[in-house]
Amino acid sequence: DQQVKQNSPSLSVQEGRISILNCDYTNSMFDYFLWYKKYPAEGPTFLISISSIKDKNEDGRFTVFLNKSAKHLSLHIVPSQPGDSAVYFCAASPSYSGAGSYQLTFGKGTKLSVIP
């Protein structure tokens, strides 16, 4: 039972254009969301996060949008650069205290290729 879904295994985008990566979740207890970027043979690198009290968070070229009613979030990268080519993971966490509170549930990832 996949609670965090990234339905596009791969995405190709031209350099300079916008990359949009999507993520859906099913667990209504999730209210903190993160995006990680991962290069081969390395650990995931934290990119940006958003709490459910917000619908948008921006950090430089990266913006995350959250639609809580649709249980959907997306990561926008603009402009896309060749160095952005990596696997992007969406992750979610509930924010209550107690068992299970801080574990991240990950999607399977989307491989982004930015073509020069």
Partner 1 sequence: NAGVMQNPRHLVRRRGQEARLRCSPMKGHSHVYWYRQLPEEGLKFMVYLQKENIIDESGMPKERFSAEFPKEGPSILRIQQVVRGDSAAYFCASSPRQTGGPVEQYFGPGTRLTVT
Residue 47 or 77 having the CB closest to partner 1: 47
Residue 81 or 103 having the CB closest to partner 1: 103
Q: Is 36 in the site for partner 1 (CB under 8 A)?
A: yes
Stretch of residues binding partner 1 (CB under 8 A), selected from 12-20, 34-42, 60-68, 75-83: 34-42
Stretch of residues binding partner 1 (CB under 8 A), selected from 10-18, 45-53, 62-70, 77-85: 45-53
Cβ within 8 Å of residue 22, ≥6 positions away? 6, 7, 8, 72, 73, 74, 110
Q: Is 67 in the site for partner 1 (CB under 8 A)?
A: no
Residue 88 three-state SS: strand
